[in-house]
Structure 1
Amino acid sequence: MFELKKLVSALLMPLPAMLILGFLGLLLIMFTTRRKFGSLMVLVSLCGTFLIAFQPLSSRLLMPLERQYSAFLPINESIDYVMVLGGGHVVDDDIPPTSELSRTSLMRLSKVFV
């Protein structure tokens, strides 16, 4: 059941949904007599993919989610721990801690202390 839920949720994402729509349109064009409908499906798929990837539109769609949470403002209290999510690291005692982080993690960590 868990695998089915993950599969269905992945297929409902915009890019896979547009690709599936395009492939279904191509199948209609190649194997049936409904070529006009298949062409329309391919056109909708390509236009949808373009609109999803179009930066002004995608930024406008993401803006409410990005503004939902306020930025971290420095406080006078000391900070004991900082958790940097979504990065990589290596564990090596011979190199300094900042060299253990991946470039992405180091950039995210530097944003916390700026």
Structure 2
Amino acid sequence: MDLSLGFIVKKWLGSLLMPLNISLFFLLLSFYFGITKRPYRAAATLVPALAILLVTSNPWWVNQQLLENERVLKAPSQLVDSFDFVVVLGGGHISDPMLSPTEQLSRSSFARITKGIELSLVNPQSRLIVSGYGGSDPNSNAELMEKVARQANIPPANIITIPKAKDTEQEAAVIATYIGQRPTALVTSATHMKRALQHFNKYSSNISPVPTDYLGKEVQGEQRLYEFLPDARFIHRYDALWHEKLGIWWQKIRTYFS
């Protein structure tokens, strides 16, 4: 597995800077100050740990943050038949030979390839480009999504697989060699779309965003009081949004120093 030092460092930093890990770091500090009998420092580090956990697990607050970020780019009201390429970015998977390809895909990967298949069926003249790295997994995300697309009767000759691009930046660079300036639909999760477009717009001015896999929902009807209680599912949803914020900041830092 060919991984550069910079790529490994980026992944480690990205994981360590997630809200749950930051909260655990403060909790460990608080525990240390507690057993060393420094109560004021213990309290000072306990407060941010609890604050992060309470805020990022609050359903109402997390949902509002997701709505503000995911709805910046509007999804098309209808799927049109004007694309030469449909690009579906990878979103993770776990290979398990006991499960079907669709069951091995993560939630985001499944949502993305489903939308990509819909677009491909509306645009039968288009080529479907699926990408996604495998990491330490024996199969790449792109290969699994190709299998799902073929099961949906997308002709194999219409599918281009990009299995070795490790992140969105590399995906954009490789895929640009195929699409050029031809009309292209870009399919990825709504939280990821803003950052993905920044990379793809470097190479093409003919990219149409088609976001999917929305995590924030416009709640219809009155919410019950218990729905405002902390919920671990919303920590996971906020992680996805925070990951994208870190990615955008990382891009800005690299651009500044380059």
- The TM-score with structure 1 as length reference comes to 0.64
Q: Equivalent pairs: percent with the same residue?
A: 18
1:10-25 mapped onto 2 (5 Å cutoff): 10-25=15-30
* CA shift digits 1:38-90 (9 cap, x unpaired): 02322331222111111111112222220122213311447775737436598
1:29 Cα shift? Answer: 0.5
RMSD: 3.4
Bigger share in helix: 1
1:64 to 51, 61, 68: 68
Matching of residues 30-109 of structure 1 within 5 Å? 30-31=35-36, 33-72=37-76, 73-77=78-82, 81=86, 83=88, 85-86=90-91, 88=93, 100-102=101-103, 104=107, 105=110, 109=114
Give the structure, 1 or 2, with the largest relative contact order (CA under 8 Å, sep 6 or more): 2
Q: 1:112 to 1:54 in 2, by over 3 A?
A: farther
Unaligned runs of 5+ in 1: 91-98
- Normalized per residue, which structure has more strand? 2
CA contact (8 A) 2:88 2:116 kept: no
Q: Is the contact made by 1:24 and 1:41 (CA closer than 8 Å) also made in structure 2?
A: yes
Q: 2:11 aligns with which of 1, 6, 26?
A: 6
The DSSP-based 3-state class of the residue aligned with 1:68 is: coil
Aligned length: 105
Distance 2:91 2:113 in 1: 9
CA distance in 2, matches of 1:89, 1:23: 31
